Structure 1
Amino acid sequence: MRDVRRRRDRVGDRCAPFAGSSPTRTPRDRGVASRITESIGERDEFMIDTIRVDGIDVHIDGPDDAPTIVMVHGWPDTFRLWESQVAALRDSYRCARFTLPGFELGAPRRSHSVDEIAETMSGIVDAVSPTRPVILMLHDFGCAFGYRFTVDAPERVSAVIMFDVGDANSPEVDAELDRTAKILRNGYQRTLAAAWRRGGRGSNTVSRLMAKVLGTHADPTLIHSGMNYPYEAMLGNPDLPVLGAVIAHPTFYLYGTKKPFMFHSRDWSDRLAATEGCAVTAVRAGHWLMVQKADEVNSAITEWLGSTKV
């Protein structure tokens, strides 16, 4: 039985403590677990909620009756990655974001498999949108976890927005990389995997230095080697299906062009662009294009969502 707990803020006072009326219990929409709700004052046009699903805080912005977007980040980020997208979309969409298990500073240090993260996503989707399919917004390893979820539960997804990672583990991507690109890719990925295995303060320093070299916009004080488990668990995993091999939903793929190599093959992006209901957009930015070119990216997302049945 899943544990789902909710707390609610007034819009415009996001840092206020969750004080107010006494908790009231109501049945959860799908009856999986009970929900504890704390409300502050009168209901606004939309509220900012934090619900806790199986020990994970899920932050929700936007109208309750709007289509729900579930946002999944990658390395070395947290739910904070999506601030600009939430600000741009929350008037028309219900934005739900969370930090991947083990990524929060001080979280228990252990690896989580792709199957475990997909199960975590299943619980979150059930909690935030029990009766309607959701739009997935994914970046980096979030694309891998989200793709697995779309394969396991296609009926729970209406559309997918992917940032910068396509068929990253396909033979086609490997074939398109020259020797220098392969050295760069394998070097940073193996360094982060080794930092995960070693642990300790020195590995945290290595992880922060690597994040700086790669151009991340994450707060360095929140980066630690415990975030690196996907590199150990997923890279070189022969049981991991090729990402994006089957596109079963309307999909918008945005990628940065200012990188030493791509995380998708040209054939994959061409096939996606030619698929009805799908689109591909290149942005003059790096891997974290949703931060580096937020206005351009948000405009493209808003336009695509407006033209897509979700």
Structure 2
Amino acid sequence: MIDTIRVDGIDVHIDGPDDAPTIVMVHGWPDTFRLWESQVAALRDSYRCARFTLPGFELGAPRRSHSVDEIAETMSGIVDAVSPTRPVILMLHDFGCAFGYRFTVDAPERVSAVIMFDVGDANSPEVDAELDRTAKILRNGYQRTLAAAWRRGGRGSNTVSRLMAKVLGTHADPTLIHSGMNYPYEAMLGNPDLPVLGAVIAHPTFYLYGTKKPFMFHSRDWSDRLAATEGCAVTAVRAGHWLMVQKADEVNSAITEWLGSTKV
């Protein structure tokens, strides 16, 4: 049975035993808490799954940008509400990896383990160096298009955002996609003050990424270093960016196995 609590104006949906380890799930663009349906179904018997929609991502939400620090503060309030006395496991995807990484840096004692999907050291010089000219054109093109749609707003920008989501292969309901979701592209991309994601690996971390993409959001050096770190693991899945939906059974089995072998 799903319980819903409200934390700082955000609905947090909780499913699983009250005394089980808590997994806080953070999605990215252009998703909502609904992204994690399959993972909740697979994990809720043994874990307490807490998920929410990022501020501004729900259809009809007030349109404004939210900084990385603001989202980390939002996560802090949610973690305190769902697991006040015990560290949580973070499950992160896309921009959720950036927000979650910032939270782990700010409050490492509140996190016991991290599961990251498809975004590693995405803003590092190493990633940029590994991309060829075509990959850079593709990456910069879609990101700048979404940032521009955020700046413009309006019905036309919603249409552009939905078309881009379709091109990129998202599995989100297109009727729920809108340009108000695009603020991370404007707020985070090219931000010189944003720390390199994943630069410090301070918790047991499981990184899963899709191989069927035009380019990667991590460097080979970063994934090799993570795989060689005690308590951490890296798994490649023959899927795209939304591997937790495209290969749900394979992904869920890998997560369950890793969590079972990790102290959380």
Shared fold, TM over 0.5: yes
Offset of residue 48 of structure 1: 1.7
Offset of residue 299 of structure 1: 0.0
Structure 1 unmatched runs, 5+? 1-46
CA distance in 2, matches of 1:233, 1:116: 11
CA distance in 2, matches of 1:170, 1:54: 33
CA distance in 2, matches of 1:151, 1:253: 17
Offset of residue 88 of structure 1: 0.0
**Deviation by residue 1:53-78 (Cα, 9 ceiling, x = unmatched):** 00000000000000000000000000
Which of the residues 154, 159, 164 maps onto 2:118?
164
Aligned match of 2:220: 266
**Deviation by residue 1:249-298 (Cα, 9 ceiling, x = unmatched):** 00000000000000000000000000000000000000000000000000
| 3-state DSSP of counterpart to 1:253 | strand
Which one has a larger percent helix, Structure 1 or Structure 2?
A: 2
Matched, 1:81 2:32: no
**Deviation by residue 1:126-179 (Cα, 9 ceiling, x = unmatched):** 000000000000000000000000000000000000000000000000000000
Offset of residue 224 of structure 1: 0.1
Superposition map of 1:88-127 within 5 A: 88-127=42-81
Offset of residue 218 of structure 1: 0.1
**Deviation by residue 1:70-110 (Cα, 9 ceiling, x = unmatched):** 00000000000000000000000000000000000000000
Q: Matched residue pairs, number?
A: 264
| 3-state DSSP of counterpart to 2:39 | helix
- Structure number with larger C-alpha Rg: 1
**Deviation by residue 1:238-257 (Cα, 9 ceiling, x = unmatched):** 00000000000000000000
CA distance in 1, matches of 2:20, 2:28: 25
Instruction: Point out which structure has higher relative CO (alpha carbons under 8 A, 6+ apart).
Output: 2
CA distance in 2, matches of 1:137, 1:223: 22
CA distance in 2, matches of 1:182, 1:228: 19
| 3-state DSSP of counterpart to 2:116 | strand
| Alignment root-mean-square deviation, CA | 0.3
Matched, 1:239 2:193: yes
CA distance in 1, matches of 2:227, 2:73: 30
CA distance in 2, matches of 1:48, 1:176: 43
**Deviation by residue 1:166-204 (Cα, 9 ceiling, x = unmatched):** 000000000000000000000000000000000000000
CA distance in 2, matches of 1:54, 1:166: 29
Matched, 1:54 2:25: no
CA distance in 1, matches of 2:162, 2:153: 13
Which of the residues 211, 229, 242 maps onto 1:257?
211
Length-normalised TM-score, structure 1: 0.85
CA distance in 2, matches of 1:88, 1:51: 22
Length-normalised TM-score, structure 2: 1.00
Structure 1 runs of 4+ aligned residues shifted over 4 Å read none
CA distance in 1, matches of 2:8, 2:101: 21
Structure 2 unmatched runs, 5+? none
CA distance in 1, matches of 2:172, 2:190: 26
Which of the residues 122, 133, 136 maps onto 2:90?
136
| 3-state DSSP of counterpart to 2:226 | helix
CA distance in 2, matches of 1:164, 1:284: 12
**Deviation by residue 1:195-221 (Cα, 9 ceiling, x = unmatched):** 000000000000000000000000000
